[in-house]
Amino acid sequence: PAPRPDPALCPQVPVTFKDVFVDFSRDEWALLDDEQKELHRSVMQSNCELLLHVASEFIRHGESDVGRKG
């Protein structure tokens, strides 16, 4: 498993998928080359996996405010 970051260095602010989602219009997407599209897919997959991991940690530790923002 990956080493766990120092909690003191992690910001304690709510994050939603929308906060880390990068959306392209059809026209913008058409301008990207294959490497840029693959980078986007890879980054979005990593973001999803990270958010799912964080949510599962909150649930596992009994936190009740998962998904709340503000």
pLDDT, tens digit, for every residue of 6-60? 766 666 777 777 887 888 999 999 999 999 999 999 998 998 888 888 888 778 7
Q: Classify residue 44: in a domain, yes or no.
A: yes
Residue 10 domain flag: no
CB neighbours of residue 22 within 10 Å: 8
* Structural domain contains residue 68: no
Within a domain: 47: yes
pLDDT of 15: 72
Which residues, 6+ apart, have CB-to-CB distance to 24 below 8 Å? 32, 40
Q: What is the pLDDT at residue 65?
A: 53
- How many domains is the chain partitioned into structurally? 1
The amino acid that residue 69 corresponds to is K
Phi, psi of 64 (to 5 degrees): -105, -5
Does residue 35 sit within a domain?
A: yes
Q: Is residue 8 part of a domain?
A: no
pLDDT of residue 13: 73
Compute the distance between CA of residue 12 and CA of residue 63 in angstroms, rounded to an integer.
13
pLDDT of residue 68: 53
The parent domain of residue 50 ranges over 15-60
Residue 25 covered by a domain: yes
Residue 28 maps to a domain: yes
The larger pLDDT score, comparing residue 63 to residue 31, is at 31
Residue 4: the pLDDT is: 73
Residue 23: closest CA among 4, 9, 5, 43: 43
